Amino acid sequence: MTKISLGRRLIFSAVFFLAAGYSSLTVSAQEDVSSGPVMLASIDGPISPATDDYLRMAIENAEKGNARLLVVKLNTPGGLLPSMQRMVENILQADVPIMVYVSPSGGGAISAGVFITMAGHLAVMAPGTTIGAAHPVTGSGQDVGGDMREKLENFAVSLIKAISEQRGRNVRWAEQAVRESVAITDREALDENVIDYIASDLSRALAEAEGRTVNVAGRPHTLENLREAPIQEIEMTLRQQVVSILSDPNVAVLLGLGAMVGIAIELFHPGAILPGVVGAICLILSLTAAQVLPINYGGLALLLLGGAFFVVEMMIPSFGIWGGAGIICFVIGSIYFVDTDMIWGAEGLTVDRLMVGSIAAAAGLMLLGVVYLVVKTGKRKIEIGTQGLVGQKGSVMTEFVVSGSGGVARGKVHVFGELWDARISLEDYAKPKIGDAVRVESVGEGMMLSVIPEEEL
């Protein structure tokens, strides 16, 4: 009996200590979350690969920083379907509560913005904002025709219904927003159960969120201590800013046009070089802007293209065109390939901007030096072959003998370390003597040099 009691005591003690350890870990984890900041990400403009990458980064930073809440301040006229879809996926799969706050007054969550707003754990709008008009259209804003219209519409409807059902929002209105392009005000959105509440500014939005329970990754999560939390704003990185500019629909169209025109000119006029180089760069940038290539893949393609340009510059001199294009590809490719501004990036795994700039500057200076030497060499007087003999000094080695009608005398001169047959016009100059200095005036047939006395120059 004593042995059994002792064994039970040991088991109970082990269970007690394990439970105490688990509860202490749980409490410390809760403390970490409750003591974390409120992070703020601002999206103001079209939904593009840049905003997709920016939101992904913001969610990762919020998760790793134990943020109490991630606020996505949204004002968008819509954007690309693939970017919107990935943004919705990231929000639905996030391990941190996310509030989508449509702001400022006069702005709205239009088209793709509807999906993003309704995907948030909390959907909030500022007074005077609108939401809706989510019918899929082409890049130029026109309706999609044919069978593709029905496919895109049905896909968009199924997606927004799934989002609405998961977040407990108005499924009927969500479908109308896609099929009929219905748009409503903030007050109507609140009445229609499209959003959770209306807040005039961020502080009121956080105050209203206090005590609300949301479902985060399948677990209930109560929002607490939001008003006292420090607000940490997440800025777009340099890469995202560059991609955002290039992903603008107008810029993307110009890039695509530049790619087609440049490559077409190079195909019809081989050897023009510059149009083909510009076309190749524009092609990669346009594919990245249209999300055919992911951002980092576009960066890798630019780096490889830049390396190819450098090799071609060494093999086929082009007065710096290939090399200059290689430098441009290297700089943009470095920005695209590795994000140097990630807050939570591991040390040693980021690219230093100073290093990129230094390499580009050094390569540019070397290229300018090579171009300068090439141009300087091109301007130098030819010093080899028959043209190289013109203007060279020499000396008379044999007596010049009058030939023919007496208007010309012939002899031998020493030029460039060799003996050359030479002639001189006696109508213009006196017959030279052995040892006299002469200068080559021209080179005739049979390598016959026409010379004149040196003192006549």
Model confidence pLDDT, tens digit, residues 243-271: 788 777 778 888 888 889 888 888 888 87
- Residue ranges and CATH numbers for the domains of the chain are 28-236 (3.90.226.10), 240-379 (no CATH), 385-456 (2.40.50.140)
Would you place residue 24 in the very low, low, confident or very high pLDDT band (cuts 50, 70, 90)?
very low
Q: What is the mean pLDDT of residues 299-311?
A: 85
pLDDT digits (tens, 9 = 90+) for 124-165: 999 999 999 998 876 555 566 666 778 888 999 999 999 999
Edge-to-edge, what's the strand order for the sheet holding 108-110?
108-110, 130-132, 183-185
pLDDT digits (tens, 9 = 90+) for 278-287: 899 899 888 8
Average pLDDT, rounded, for the chain: 80
pTM: 0.63
Tell me the C-alpha distance between 165 and 162, whole Å: 5
Angle between helices 274-289 and 295-315 (to 10 degrees): 170
Do residues 105 and 128 touch, judged by C-beta distance below 8 A?
yes
Tell me the sheet residues that pair with 231.
38
pLDDT digits (tens, 9 = 90+) for 154-188: 999 999 999 999 999 999 999 999 999 999 999 99
> How many CB atoms are located within 10 Å of the residue 329 CB?
25
| pLDDT at residue 240 is higher than 90 | no
| pLDDT at residue 416 is higher than 80 | no
| pLDDT at residue 18 is higher than 70 | no
Characterize 344-371 residue by residue with b for buried, 16 or more Cβ atoms within 10 angstroms of its Cβ, and e for exposed.
Answer: eeeeeeeeeeeebeeebeebbeebeebb
> How many CB atoms are located within 10 Å of the residue 249 CB?
16
pLDDT score at 165? 95
| pLDDT at residue 208 is higher than 90 | yes
pLDDT score at 370? 57
Percent of the chain beyond pLDDT 70? 76
Q: What is the mean pLDDT of residues 295-319?
A: 80
pLDDT digits (tens, 9 = 90+) for 333-354: 777 765 544 333 333 334 455 5
> How many CB atoms are located within 10 Å of the residue 174 CB?
28
Cα-to-chain-centroid distance, residue 256: 15
Burial of 274 (0-12, 13-18, 19+ CB in 10 A): middle
Q: Is the peptide bond before 127 cis (omega within 30 degrees of 0)?
A: no
DSSP letters spanning 152-164: HHHHHHHHHHHHH
pLDDT score at 269? 83
Residues whose CB falls within 8 Å of the CB of residue 269, separated by 6 or more in sequence, listed in order:
275
Higher-pLDDT residue of 424 and 354 is 424
